[in-house]
Structure 1
Amino acid sequence: MTSVEDLTAELADLREQIAALTRARDEARLERDELRTAIMGMPAAIGVMTGPEHVFKLVNGAWRALEPSYEPLDRRLIDVIPPPLGPRIAAALDRVFATGEPLVAANVSFTFPGATEQTFLTFHYSALRRESGDIFGIVFHGMNVTSQVRSQQEVQSLNSRLRTFLALAENAPDSIVVAERGQITYANPAFRRMFGYGEEGVGTPLLELIDDESLARLGAHRQEGAHPGSIRAIATCRRRDGSTFPGEISTFPIRDEDGQIDAEGAIIRDLTEQRRVEQERQGLQEDLIAAQQRAIRELSTPLIPLAARLVVMPLVGTIDSVRSEQILETLLRGITAHQAAVAILDTTGVRSMDEQVASSLLRTAGAARLLGTEVILTGISPEVARALVEIGTDLSGITTLGTLEAGVAHALGRRARSARSKRRS
């Protein structure tokens, strides 16, 4: 039979156990509250989902701040986050709930309702287990990594642009150099070939690439108001061995993030081949012009052999000093070639005749007579006849007839009379 003392001792022990359990419960509650307070105040989005349907039981303020319109508590994931993102996340979490393997969803992009830009989030999902090891839920931890993703995208874009620039520069036919404080820090393969430098081109002063005269012109160009570092000019470029070649230089400033010029770029094109082609083209053009002028002279002063020892030169248009020399040269050459006894100068197509033109025709007739050729002037219009009288032109020694037909008849009659005279003798 249990004594009173035993019951008293057992009661005191029970009271100590209850007090210990109470203290443990209070400590657990305090720890839980502190943990909850910490979770709710953390900047990362944290929460707890339970059951195979992933029902939200806890989310902190950072999660709610992602999209205030989402009310998650006691609701399934697929009912909180709309398609297509919600079902896609739920399918991934099914695997975590079934296997217990953690999942990291990095840089997940989606657009919140009403937003115009994408948001990027990285979430870590881990299984919650009871003491028995059974999985009863999932705890998640997420961070808004939009700024990091944007920065990474910018870096990738810069790297892509840098690779593109290097590909262009390394394969460009023109020399491309970058200089800092006047010293070349980058030179592409075309520069090394064009200027005769190997890798030694790096460190070469940029201004050593052009001669002193071109350097002075470039300096004057800068003083005339060109933008700092911006020049486009033709210069005499100097190779490493001292030889030179004509080149076109285009320089441009390279600025840092603050807009300050910290380097200078230059593109140099060898104009040697272009100059050669231009000279050939100019020579061909000059030959073409000369050929055209010869053709024009021949067309403007045609000499027509009309019969044996009879030539006709019809004159058309305006006769100036240059053309009068052409007439004289063509007529004398034709008289000699055809051994002409008679030469007809037909002025029917001449618009006007001044003292200079009349003197040229008289000089031409006089030169022809020295070769034993009779000159017949035909086609003088009344206006031209009046002008010749007014300027007192002496046409003695020159046969003048009204029309070309009359001149030809006269020349042929003269030839017939000469033939009869020879037969009588």
Structure 2
Amino acid sequence: MFTEEPSYDVLKTENAFLRARVQELERALEACVPRESAEEQHHVPYRKIFDALPVSLGVYRRDGLSVAMNTTSLELIGGIGDEIIGKFNILEDPSSISAGFVENFQRAAALGKNVTMPPCAYETAGSTLATIDERTVWTETTYVPIKGDAGIEFLVECNIDVTERQKTQKALEEKHALLQALIDNAPMSIFANNLEDRTILVNQRCADAMRLPPEAILGKTPRDLLPEDRAEEYLREDRQVLEKGSGIEWESERVRDGKPYHILMTKFPLRETNGKVYGVCGISMDITQRRRAEADNRRLQEEIIRMQEESLRALSTPLIPIAEGVVVMPLIGSVNGTRAQQVMEALLEGVSRHRASIAILDVTGVTFVDRQVADALIRAAQAVSLLGSNVVLTGVRPEMARTLVEIGADLHGIVVHSTLQSAIQYALMY
């Protein structure tokens, strides 16, 4: 008896059922077998990473016992792991307590969040020839709490070397202190405002002038500190500097305690390293003493010039008494109208002072005489004669004689001698 073979369609249906059943069983199997984590699949070497990190890391149990330290941490303290791990307890270490590490360790554990300490310095072993700064290491410590099933189970101590940062900060602080000392001791008032007109810098001299402590000035605007008219003037000056983009300088006179004083003011823009303006700086110098000194110097110069003029006048018109009642005035060089006037004044004053009866006017050394000067000399002689004195004119050169004739000079009452010697002999025998 033959059995009828299943048709193609029946076989196709059975195969599809079987494939679906296999897929269902595979899914059930996957649900029962735990999968490997991504870390397990890639075999992440956590310990190697922990040791390779360039940051000092130490792991403590919640009770303070050290349970792990990476290579960087051990190198930093110069220790061996077997001497520390499982033996050192931070909560029992006196130096950790006194330095504040324990306090911050416990804070992180209690709060359940990171706690970062201020930078802490300690000295490393090294060459005795090195300076203290070279042996000192600064670290910034952060405690990171690690939670487990029972709460905070571990704390990671992360120490970042901030030595260079501390050195830079120290250098900046020293530079700032130096600049502050310079501006505080400068013989001028120094101040600066930002673009909101608030004071960002003031030196001690400026604060003293305003009769306020520096901290009472910082952050304030000119309208907070000055009378309204002066504040508006101050702000106009700042706007002028900002619009011009460069410094300005001027002098002004003001009144303080009822007394006038002079100041030299300079204002200029403050710029960031990229050239952007962020404020205006002003430097005010009291130049009252300078102005007074300049005025005194001008008066002194005028007095010196006056005395020099008098000395030159005396030298240019010397009057020499040679005997009782006899004076001589020898003239040398050129004679202009001004000097001719001086001759007349000196003759009149000398004749009157010495009560001279004869005045000898010697023109031997006169190089040039024009009509105006010749006339002035004759008038001087005539003026002397009005005082009751006789004038003797000596040393007349041909060109002077010609000039006197051309101008029709009136020589009445004037005795003329060719030489000074003969004039003196005449005067002594008079």
Tell whether the structures are fold-level matches, with TM greater than 0.5: yes
Structure 2 partner of 1:385: 401
- The CA distance in 1 between the partners of 2:137 and 2:239, in whole Å, is 58
Q: 1:371 to 1:244 in 2, by over 3 A?
A: closer
- The CA distance in 2 between the partners of 1:216 and 1:157, in whole Å, is 35
1:260 pairs with 267, 273, 276, which one?
276
Shift of 1:351: 1.3
Shift of 1:343: 0.7
Asked whether 1:363 is paired with 2:374, we answer no
Q: 1:381 to 1:197 in 2, by over 3 A?
A: farther
Structure 2 partner of 1:157: 171
Structure 2 partner of 1:190: 205
Which stretch of structure 1 is more off in the superposition, 327-336 or 34-43? 34-43
Shift of 1:31: 12
8 Å contact 2:248–2:266 — kept in the other structure?
A: yes
- The CA distance in 2 between the partners of 1:41 and 1:196, in whole Å, is 61
SS of the residue 2:396 aligns to: coil
Q: Deviations over 1:257-295 (max 9, x none)?
A: 543222222111111222222222222222222222212
Amino acid at match of 1:164: L
Asked whether 1:176 is paired with 2:190, we answer yes
Q: Deviations over 1:9-38 (max 9, x none)?
A: xxxxxxxxxxxxxxxxxxxxx999824653
Shift of 1:405: 0.8
Asked whether 1:307 is paired with 2:323, we answer yes
Which stretch of structure 1 is more off in the superposition, 368-377 or 247-256? 247-256
8 Å contact 2:199–2:217 — kept in the other structure?
A: yes
- The CA distance in 1 between the partners of 2:200 and 2:306, in whole Å, is 52
Q: Deviations over 1:117-176 (max 9, x none)?
A: x9x9999xxxxxxxxxxxxxxxxxx9996xx54443332222112111222223333111
SS of the residue 2:253 aligns to: strand
8 Å contact 2:241–2:248 — kept in the other structure?
A: yes
Structure 1 partner of 2:23: none
- The CA distance in 1 between the partners of 2:353 and 2:360, in whole Å, is 16
- The CA distance in 2 between the partners of 1:238 and 1:182, in whole Å, is 24
Q: 1:208 to 1:264 in 2, by over 3 A?
A: same
- The CA distance in 2 between the partners of 1:216 and 1:331, in whole Å, is 67
Residues 197-346 of structure 1 mapped to structure 2, 5 A cutoff: 197=212, 201-202=217-218, 203-205=220-222, 227-228=245-246, 230-237=247-254, 245-256=261-272, 258-346=274-362
- The CA distance in 2 between the partners of 1:220 and 1:397, in whole Å, is 80
Amino acid at match of 1:251: K
- The CA distance in 1 between the partners of 2:274 and 2:167, in whole Å, is 21
- The CA distance in 1 between the partners of 2:201 and 2:56, in whole Å, is 48
Amino acid at match of 2:325: R
Q: Deviations over 1:56-100 (max 9, x none)?
A: xxx99x9xxxxxxxxxxxxxxxxxxxxxxxxxx99x95x759966
Matched length: 316
- The CA distance in 2 between the partners of 1:45 and 1:196, in whole Å, is 53
Asked whether 1:403 is paired with 2:419, we answer yes
- The CA distance in 2 between the partners of 1:395 and 1:190, in whole Å, is 77
Amino acid at match of 1:175: S
Structure 2 partner of 1:376: 392
- The CA distance in 2 between the partners of 1:307 and 1:217, in whole Å, is 77
Structure 2 partner of 1:8: none
- The CA distance in 1 between the partners of 2:221 and 2:168, in whole Å, is 33
- The CA distance in 2 between the partners of 1:267 and 1:397, in whole Å, is 74
Shift of 1:364: 0.6
Amino acid at match of 1:163: A
Structure 2 partner of 1:9: none
- The CA distance in 1 between the partners of 2:344 and 2:376, in whole Å, is 8
- The CA distance in 1 between the partners of 2:43 and 2:262, in whole Å, is 83
Q: 1:195 to 1:43 in 2, by over 3 A?
A: closer
- The CA distance in 1 between the partners of 2:56 and 2:235, in whole Å, is 66
- The CA distance in 2 between the partners of 1:195 and 1:122, in whole Å, is 43
Amino acid at match of 1:156: K
Q: 1:36 to 1:273 in 2, by over 3 A?
A: same
Q: Deviations over 1:298-324 (max 9, x none)?
A: 121111111121110011122222222
- The CA distance in 1 between the partners of 2:231 and 2:382, in whole Å, is 62
TM-score (norm 1): 0.60
1:34 pairs with 30, 36, 45, which one?
45
Shift of 1:192: 3.4
Q: 1:365 to 1:260 in 2, by over 3 A?
A: same
8 Å contact 1:347–1:377 — kept in the other structure?
A: yes
Which stretch of structure 1 is more off in the superposition, 387-396 or 340-349? 387-396
SS of the residue 2:45 aligns to: helix
8 Å contact 1:355–1:393 — kept in the other structure?
A: no
Shift of 1:235: 2.2
8 Å contact 1:108–1:122 — kept in the other structure?
A: no
Structure 2 partner of 1:55: none
Structure 1 partner of 2:152: none
Residues 39-50 of structure 1 mapped to structure 2, 5 A cutoff: 42=53
SS of the residue 2:315 aligns to: helix
Which stretch of structure 1 is more off in the superposition, 372-381 or 275-284? 275-284
- The CA distance in 1 between the partners of 2:418 and 2:287, in whole Å, is 63
Q: Deviations over 1:371-404 (max 9, x none)?
A: 1111111112233334434454443432222211
Which stretch of structure 1 is more off in the superposition, 191-200 or 319-328? 191-200
Which stretch of structure 1 is more off in the superposition, 376-385 or 150-159? 150-159
SS of the residue 1:346 aligns to: strand
Counting aligned pairs with the same residue, the percent is 31
8 Å contact 2:378–2:411 — kept in the other structure?
A: yes
TM-score (norm 2): 0.59
Shift of 1:234: 1.2
Shift of 1:197: 4.9
- The CA distance in 2 between the partners of 1:155 and 1:291, in whole Å, is 65
